[in-house]
Amino acid sequence: MASAPRKLNFITGNKNKLAEVRAILGSVVEVDNQAVDAPEIQGTIEEIAREKCRRAAEVVGGPVLTEDTALEFRALKGLPGPYIKQFLDALGHEGLNKLLDSFEDRTAEAVCTFAFCSGPGSEILLFQGRTEGTIVRPRGPTNFGWDPIFEYETHTYAEMEKEEKNKISHRYKALANLQQWLTNGQS
């Protein structure tokens, strides 16, 4: 079992994700970041997270924290899932909505998986969080992925203040699990 680090090298080029991780974990561990260009593989959320983390640890040559986000539409049996970034890039917010227009069920589950590896060849630990919501027409700022179309209770993620979102989001829940491990030194 890997021991909890005092400092994490979060592998991301996304400044919004970095800000959220620092806001949630900042009191427990120092969060640095580095962008590593690793090819995306196909597979389950967990398989993709493990492979990304393994490759990042090899490139960095030390401890890394990676993150993968999925958005699973219940009507589409989990699609787009871990491929949400590619679907969003290709279809946009309206296109994602159109995928569900012929279905009554517009529920979705946002899934965040953080993977930690203490270095090349080491065990990879996963910390996952899930939040149930509904896919709606875009509302709020459009500067952070699919936030404008994912509604939790009465507001989309994009309409929420950062502090409010950071208390209920899939990323918060995954980071809470990571934070517990960092604090207690156990998974």
Task: Quick: pLDDT tens for 16-63.
Answer: 888 888 888 877 778 877 777 766 678 899 999 999 999 999 998 989
What is the reported pLDDT for 186? 52
The pLDDT assigned to 40 comes to: 65
Q: For residue 148, what is the DSSP state? A: G
Tokens representing residue 32 in the block: 């640095």
Residue range 61-95, pLDDT digits in tens: 989 999 999 999 999 999 999 999 999 999 999 99
Buried b (16+ CB within 10 A) or exposed e, 65-97: bbbbbbbbbbbeebebbbebbebbeeeebeebb
Largest CA-CA distance found in the chain, in angstroms, rounded? 49
Q: What is the 3-state secondary structure (H, E, C) of 15-30?
A: HHHHHHHHHHHCCCCE
